Amino acid sequence: GAVVSQHPSWVICKSGTSVKIECRSLDFQATTMFWYRQFPKQSLMLMATSNEGSKATYEQGVEKDKFLINHASLTLSTLTVTSAHPEDSSFYICSARKNVVYEQYFGPGTRLTVT
Amino acid sequence: AQSVTQLGSHVSVSEGALVLLRCNYSSSVPPYLFWYVQYPNQGLQLLLKYTSAATLVKGINGFEAEFKKSETSFHLTKPSAHMSDAAEYFCAVSDPSNFGNEKLTFGTGTRLTIIP
């Protein structure tokens, strides 16, 4: 199998606070994980590519200081939304690439609501 | 640069009828192509993928797609729709030469509704 989990599944926070979202590959090692953002009824937009042991690669227009990504182990990547604002409210989805296999496995997503 | 166009943001079919979801791609290199399904408030599940082998690809849940280079298309079909097929479907493309750092570019999605 290739199972990816995310925690939490839903989080509500106040404006100005920071929120951490975890992405774990449960039964395989993933040197590369991806973070996507999905607005209601829209497609997924790649935010950044996370590589184990190195700095993440951010897509154009994504603020790296606002969306901190840490890929500390082969099974865990975290996304921290710093100083969150209501416009950061969205559905955040991660995926993990199984080594050698050209395929991404997606987590169930985390819904962030900033009040 | 790569892009994907999904024609029809909403498609409705009757239960038991043919499902056809359209996807056209643009790519400067031979692409890899994917179809994903998303149920409400969930992540994406891979239905099938084309990686330069057979042009007719069979996936899970009875879905299949055919890669047509001349038409730059990768349409998704299922002979007989089931109520459980109601979901959002995304077509995606990636550049296989960028192995290890491949990025998926998604289409805007097609919401499939099944009419009882």
pLDDT digits (tens, 9 = 90+) for A51-82: 888 889 999 999 999 999 999 899 999 999 99
A45, A57, A109 ranked by CB distance to B42: nearest: A109
CA–CA distance, A76 with B25 (Å, rounded to integer): 33
pLDDT along chain B (116 residues), means of 10: 90 97 90 91 88 89 95 97 96 78 86 96
Rounded to 5°, the CA angle B65-B95-B76 comes to: 15
> Is the peptide bond prior to A8 cis by the omega test (within 30 degrees of 0)?
yes
Query: Number of CB pairs < 8 Å for A and B?
Result: 54
Provide the H-helix boundaries in B36-108.
Answer: none
Q: Which of A6-20, A34-48, A88-102 has the highest mean pLDDT?
A: A6-20
For residue B96, list chain A residues with Cβ-Cβ distance below 8 A: 102
B43, B102, B109 ranked by CB distance to A106: nearest: B43
* Shortest CA distance from A37: residue in chain B: B43
The per-residue pLDDT for A14 is: 96
B42, B45, B101 ranked by CB distance to A49: nearest: B101
A45, A93, A97 ranked by CB distance to B43: nearest: A93
For residue B108, list chain A residues with Cβ-Cβ distance below 8 A: 42-43
Element (H, E) at A35: strand A32-38
Q: With CA atoms as reference, report the closest residue to B57 among B70, B82, B74.
A: B74
| Residues contacting residue A112 through CB under 8 Å, at least 6 positions apart | A11, A13, A19, A21, A81, A84, A88, A89, A90, A91, A92
Left if phi > 0, otherwise alpha if psi is -120 to 50, otherwise beta: which for A12? beta
Contact present, A69 and A78 (Cβ < 8 Å): yes
A107·B43 Cβ contact <8 A: yes
Q: Quote helix, strand, coil % in chain A, to nearest 5.
A: 5, 55, 45
Number of helical H runs and strand E runs in chain A? 0, 11
Closest Cα of chain B to A11: distance in Å? 13
